[in-house]
Amino acid sequence: MTATFNLALFDLDNTLLAGDSDFEWAQFLIGRGVLDRELHEARNRQFYEQYKAGTLDIHEFLDFQLKPLSRHPRAELDAWHRDFMTARIRPIMTPAAQALVREHLANGDLCAIVTATNSFVTGPIARAFGIPHLIATVPAVEDGRFTGQPRGTPAFREGKILRVDAWLESLGLCWQSFDRTYFYSDSHNDLPLLQKVSDPVAVDPDDTLRAHAETAGWPVRSLHGAVS
């Protein structure tokens, strides 16, 4: 029997995680007193609502999200992130999500997280899931410090396809290299990549994605509730 070679892509926020790492990171920094609560909390929630509504200006959001990284040394940011993982992230890494990842890894599938959230926030999360590849928005660095600006195309909407294409090319692969290609996501913002793969899966989807999935006959599953 011929061995199969599959690609498994996972959105992170509200898909593998029962929450949003972007939002939680800002709330964590507010709780630490690193960001001013009055100035940042309402804006953080506003951007989150815009994302859910499909009206987010990704460049405006990245200016908000990445600026705090530029104000602190990397060692201090890394120390905060270790606490962030313990306090905010590990509690929302559900057993069902971890089991799904293990299933694909055990099958020998090429696995990657594909997320609009920046790689500083998401790199340790990908490692905690045991996922070897991360395709994320990349914060620019100069002289060992974050500049507060993104580098290259943000991994958002159609940008996710561009970034996955470039990553596959760097591995000497293309979409046609695989027998099956999976993408798991909760968000209608990910419809471009969901429509690209052979096996799209809506995970705890928003209302817009749920309606699309039901019309298209895509599977809908939960990784966040008691039943997966």
- Considering only CA atoms, which of 194, 120, 124, 129 is closest in space to residue 157? 194
For residue 109, indicate whether it is catalytic: no
Q: How far apart are CA 97 and CA 15, in angstroms?
A: 8
- 151 with 113: CB under 8 angstroms? no
With residue 10 as reference, give the H or E element that holds it. Answer: strand 6-10
- 130 with 102: CB under 8 angstroms? yes
Strands (E), 129-205: 133-142, 145-151, 180-185, 199-203
Q: How far apart are CA 92 and CA 164, in angstroms?
A: 26
For residue 11, indicate whether it is catalytic: yes
Q: What three-state secondary structure class fits 110? A: strand
- Considering only CA atoms, which of 48, 52, 57 is closest in space to residue 188? 52
If phi > 0 it is left, if psi is from -120 to 50 it is alpha, else beta; for residue 66 that is alpha
* Set 13, 186, 204, 206: catalytic member: 13
What's the DSSP call for residue 6?
A: E
By annotation, the residues acting in catalysis are: 11, 13
